[in-house]
Structure 1
Amino acid sequence: MQLSSQHIKQSIGRTLLRLMPLLLMGVLTLLTFWLVQKNTPHEKSALERVRLHEPDYTINNGTLSALNELGNTKYRILGNKVTHYDDDASIDIATPRMRLFQPDKAPVTVKSDTGHLDGDLTILDLIDNASIFRPAQAATATEPATLRMLATSSYFKVLINDDIIESDRPITLEQGMSIMHSTEGGIFHNVEQSMTLLGQVKGRIERAPRGSPQQ
């Protein structure tokens, strides 16, 4: 019985020796896996990897102004509620109103129900009940008299750096007593304060009465 037990112990010992390399490899594999897991940053979910488009601050009755090279106000944007987003620095504006200023000319006002300003502050989208308004202006030493102008559409895009307002939606243009409708939008050049209508244009043109510009 003793010899048999000793024989069994020797067999187990020889088996363990033969299995030792495999056991060592297994231990090393587990250790390597543990080290990799410990030093690898936790992988976020797909939702976490995408930077969420969420507001980082909101301002009620906010105002954004920009100056020209002479230090005069070039434009001013106002909104009942201004919401800034951290992921792309864009801004949503409730009831936006933008005033564009040109030397010796009447300021132009554009507005809509909602607005979106891109993160570079170069494009302002005006959505729903959008309008461009320029009041009548009497003649000056450098500028001729101008009639009241009102352009309305469902959408206008203000290219801020280019001083251009454009739309690819139908536009109704009122100037003095004249009224025109375009099917494919138009382009307003703020420097000249002139509107070019695109597509099919229909309407009526009325001569301005003598005297001061119509209000």
Structure 2
Amino acid sequence: MLYLPVLVMGVLALGTYWLVRSTPVVEHNAPERVRGHEPDYFMHGFSVKSFDPAGKLRSEVMGDVARHYPDTQWLEIDAIRIRSFDAEGRLTTASANRGLTNEDGSEVQLIGNAIVVREAITASKGKPEQVRTEYRGEFLHAFMDTEQVKSNKPVELRRGKDVFTADAMDYDNVQQVILLRGRVRGTLTPTTR
């Protein structure tokens, strides 16, 4: 009887030891798997439209194949085509072999045979208010919200019948200012009266 409490305590200690050994181990703060630059979803033959608060079409992005990369939150689009309307409803179109765009479509990088076109605008009396403007190059970086187009690669600008080429370009449509850098060449065609 004297040793019975010691014996019970020994059995309980062995039972506790067995229970701890047979319980699965909980992983504490396992390191998150490092993701590389791999797409998390694809879209084929798609069209994505965004609208302003009044319900008017603001922009439409179309393409053959799109890949979304979660590490950068950018879409890479093959055969990209874009239609964008400003606050006055003026249309700007863009296309390229490949494009990169952020989630809201406010910033677009056009790569390979890039073309951005702002159509001519006619005033109420039939006179042209703004002539057709076209930008061509292997790389164009368009900012849709601020209406800017930039490129650090050779570009060609056609404004009406006038043609300019340069090694780099910064264009601000709101300010109506274009900065051409590098070897700049231009052909100005006089207007007929």
TM over 0.5, yes or no?
yes
Q: Secondary structure at the match of 2:25?
A: helix
- The match for 1:205 is 188
- The match for 2:6 is none
User: What TM-score does the superposition give when structure 2 sets the normalisation length?
Assistant: 0.73
Q: Which has the higher strand share?
A: 2
Query: Offset at 1:184?
Result: 2.2
- The match for 1:154 is 138
Whole-Å separation in 1 of the counterparts to 2:76 and 2:142: 14
- The match for 1:53 is 37
User: Do 2:120 and 2:128's aligned partners in 1 also have CA atoms closer than 8 Å?
Assistant: no
Task: Say which of 57, 65, 81 aligns to 2:49.
Answer: 65
1:177-188 aligned within 5 A: 177-188=161-172
Structure 2, unpaired ranges of 5+: 1-16
Q: Structure 1 103/89 Cα, relative in aligned 2: closer, same or farther at 3 Å? A: closer
Query: Offset at 1:170?
Result: 2.1
Q: Structure 1 202/105 Cα, relative in aligned 2: closer, same or farther at 3 Å? A: farther
Query: Offset at 1:124?
Result: 1.4
After the TM superposition, list the runs of 4 or more consecutive aligned residues in structure 1 that deviate by more than 6 angstroms: none
- The match for 1:196 is 178
What are the superposed Cα offsets for residues 54-102 of structure 1, whole Å, 9 maximum, x if unpaired? 2232222211222223321121111111222344432111111111213
Q: Structure 1 128/148 Cα, relative in aligned 2: closer, same or farther at 3 Å? A: same
The two structures, once aligned, show a CA RMSD in angstroms of: 3.1
Q: Structure 1 78/104 Cα, relative in aligned 2: closer, same or farther at 3 Å? A: same
Whole-Å separation in 1 of the counterparts to 2:103 and 2:62: 17
User: Do 2:78 and 2:99's aligned partners in 1 also have CA atoms closer than 8 Å?
Assistant: yes
Q: Structure 1 117/125 Cα, relative in aligned 2: closer, same or farther at 3 Å? A: same
Paired residue type of 1:59 = M
Q: Structure 1 39/106 Cα, relative in aligned 2: closer, same or farther at 3 Å? A: closer
Whole-Å separation in 2 of the counterparts to 1:78 and 1:187: 24
Q: Structure 1 117/90 Cα, relative in aligned 2: closer, same or farther at 3 Å? A: same
User: Do 2:148 and 2:170's aligned partners in 1 also have CA atoms closer than 8 Å?
Assistant: no
User: Do 1:51 and 1:87's aligned partners in 2 also have CA atoms closer than 8 Å?
Assistant: yes
User: Do 2:161 and 2:188's aligned partners in 1 also have CA atoms closer than 8 Å?
Assistant: yes
Paired residue type of 1:125 = Q
Q: Aligned pairs, how many?
A: 173
Paired residue type of 1:79 = G
What are the superposed Cα offsets for residues 14-49 of structure 1, whole Å, 9 maximum, x if unpaired? xxxxxxxxxxxxxx9xxx9x89x93334856xxx73
User: What TM-score does the superposition give when structure 1 sets the normalisation length?
Assistant: 0.66
Quote the sequence identity (%). 23
Whole-Å separation in 2 of the counterparts to 1:122 and 1:50: 29
Whole-Å separation in 2 of the counterparts to 1:128 and 1:148: 22
Q: Structure 1 167/129 Cα, relative in aligned 2: closer, same or farther at 3 Å? A: same
Whole-Å separation in 1 of the counterparts to 2:97 and 2:83: 15
